[in-house]
Amino acid sequence: MSALPTPPPASLATLFCGMQFASPIVLLSGCVGFGEEYTRVEGFSNTDCGAVVLKGTTLHARLGNPAHRVYETDGGMLNAIGLQNPGVAHVVANILPGLDFGETRFIANVSGSTIDEYVAVTRRFDDSPVDAMEINISCPNVKEGGVQFGNHPEMSARVVAACRAATQKPLITKLSPNQTDIRESARVCIEAGSDALSVINTMMGMAIDVKTRRPVIGNIQGGLSGPAVKPIALLKVHQVYDVARRHGVPIIGQGGIANATDALEFIVAGASAVGVGTALFYDPHVCRKINAGIAAYLAEHGFASVDALVGTLDTTRG
């Protein structure tokens, strides 16, 4: 009796908005600067991640918020950088030429204080080699723009529609968890022209120094990320998945992913790709470990690809 054929190895490659990702991992905006801060890490391989989302970029240069900007909390991190960046013209002219676009996919993060600014930044990146753009309508640590747009579905849709008219490149809308109905926000953003969704941005939070009775963060509030937000992010992905699936729109699931099990939970809940951010600060090689764990799980459970695992959550009760 002949031996059974060995099944082919499970593939980590995935197609996301027409872009071929070597891995389902996406490095999140704000955690790896403008890409070169991570791709130059010793041992980095172009298979470690499918894409890198560049630092949030505005029309004009921004100095960001006053110190302190970052504070470690139990199970997470508060940050209120305030979108410090040199402005889109500088990024396109001086930073993008230094990136190796054969190494991985690079996604710009479009930020602004007004719809006109979002459009201007989108147009500038449209005339650049970036592969796609993430619309940041949900940043909780800037006083204008950001949450103002992301917490109101109608405003979110207006931003997306305006950006959609300014580019043919894939648009990924980053949704805020700090709103009443994230499903409604997902629906209107998709109908306005979003090709994909990032779920979720950071949660609003703060910390207080009891010795001085003053806020630790100079901006008073900041965005909470890390393992503490994972259960919330996972639920939001699950809630958005039905809407996204009906429209054929993929999701980047993110929020507290620190190991392969975390990533697998998001994929099962409906994410086609998974974002890694805060974990990179204490383990720059965490992506390789997550990839290895995902591959082992796919092989053990008979899935030929990551795509085959997406949205396989069984909510029936035995």
Predicted pLDDT of residue 38: 78
CA-CA distances (angstroms) from residue 95 to 27, 33, 40, 188, 279? 18, 11, 14, 33, 25
* Phi, psi angles (nearest 5°) of residue 117: -70, -40
Q: Across the 318 residues of the chain, what is the mean pLDDT of every consecutive 10-residue run?
A: 47 94 95 84 82 96 95 95 96 95 94 93 98 84 54 88 97 91 95 97 95 97 95 98 97 98 98 96 93 97 96 89
The Cα–Cα gap between 76 and 73 comes to 5
The Cα–Cα gap between 273 and 230 comes to 15
Do 266 and 253 touch, CB atoms closer than 8 A?
yes
In b/e form, how buried is each residue of 140-153, taking b as 16+ CB within 10 angstroms? bbbeebbbbbbbbb
Strand partners, 257: none
CATH topology of domain 14-309: TIM Barrel (3.20.20)
The Cα–Cα gap between 82 and 97 comes to 25
Cis peptide before 200 (omega within 30 of 0): yes
Predicted pLDDT of residue 7: 45
The Cα–Cα gap between 99 and 140 comes to 29
Nearest of 156, 60, 162, 47 to residue 105 by alpha carbon: 47
Residues with active-site annotation: 139
